[in-house]
Amino acid sequence: MKLVALAVTAAAFTNPVYTRDFPDPFVLKVGKTYYAYATNGNGANVQTATSADLVHWTAGPDALPKLGRWAFAGATWAPEVLARGDGAYVLYYTASSGTQCIGRAVARKPLGPFVDSFRGPLVCQKRDGGSIDPDPYRGYLYWKNDGNSIGRRTHIWAQRLSADGLRLVGPRRSIEVNDKVWGGGVVEGPEMRRHGGRYYLFYSGGSYNDDSYAVGYATCTGPLGPCVDAPENPILTTGCRAHGPGHNTFAGPWIVYHAWNPAHTRRQLWLSRLDWKNRKPVVRGPC
């Protein structure tokens, strides 16, 4: 793969930028350090890694060494972290209580250890297959009900967070549903962003374990929708050595995501430039 200029550091890099198995990544920048979090693996409930430039990564500790009392070990997925205004951090994570649910845990440092001291999860839509893939953004939480696990419809939901980030308040809205052919009956991994006064909901569709997995987006009139799917979806698909790219996050002008290696044994960390043209996001990659 050709070398690509990284504007943030003026360095060059070759994808994947982190070759460990690191699924469902999320990146948070605190000071001059990027902190990445990922689904359970390599002996950790919540994997972490740190970097100064998004290219060179060092494995970190388990951010959540002990799950909440409501959760079973073994299926801790898709963590994301909110930096709170008081200097604390809230980790949102998916774990099983018989059904996959979303919990929250608090720490004073980005790498934790985070502590879930709550008696139950934050949200758990058991009748709809459970709740997974939390994404906190500007006072709201976005997530997916795991309907495809029980043959039901899959929605992406939005609801306001309390000021401390520990409760859901106000109305709950469905802002995306699995009604597009390219998604293969799935919408998941929501990641909301605002650009040019508009809200953009990025999400993944297809089968997470094969080359059909991809990223699309919808344009929303506000944080609670309504949202309209882009006709050019999907905008990030299998290419080069990136198989089934998806579950994206953002770091400045970069879209960060996982993709299977050619042998489909690891989901590794990839980085592509995200540009905007005519108020539409354009991914410069994976090639």
4 has a pLDDT exceeding 60: no
Domain limits at 84?
Answer: 20-284
Q: Does 10 reside within a domain?
A: no
When pLDDT is averaged across residues 48-72 and rounded to a whole number, the result is 98
What angle (nearest 5°) sits at the alpha carbon of residue 201, between those of residues 282 and 133?
120
Residue recorded with tokens 């995306």: 176
Q: Does 83 reside within a domain?
A: yes
Q: Does 6 reside within a domain?
A: no
Q: Does 162 reside within a domain?
A: yes
H-helix or E-strand containing 140? strand 140-145
H-helix or E-strand containing 27? strand 26-30
Q: What is the pLDDT of residues 104-143, one digit of tens each?
A: 999 999 999 999 999 999 999 999 999 999 999 999 999 9
Cα–chain center distance at 4: 24
When pLDDT is averaged across residues 43-69 and rounded to a whole number, the result is 98
Residue 267 belongs to domain with CATH number:
2.115.10.20
User: Structurally, how many domains does the chain consist of?
Assistant: 1
Q: What is the pLDDT of residues 245-273, one digit of tens each?
A: 999 999 999 999 999 999 999 999 999 99
What pLDDT does residue 65 have? 98
Q: Does 206 reside within a domain?
A: yes
**DSSP one-letter code for 117:** -
Q: Does 14 reside within a domain?
A: no
Name the pLDDT band for 11 (thresholds 50, 70, 90): low
Q: Does 118 reside within a domain?
A: yes
Name the pLDDT band for 287 (thresholds 50, 70, 90): confident
Q: Does 257 reside within a domain?
A: yes
Q: What is the pTM of this model?
A: 0.95
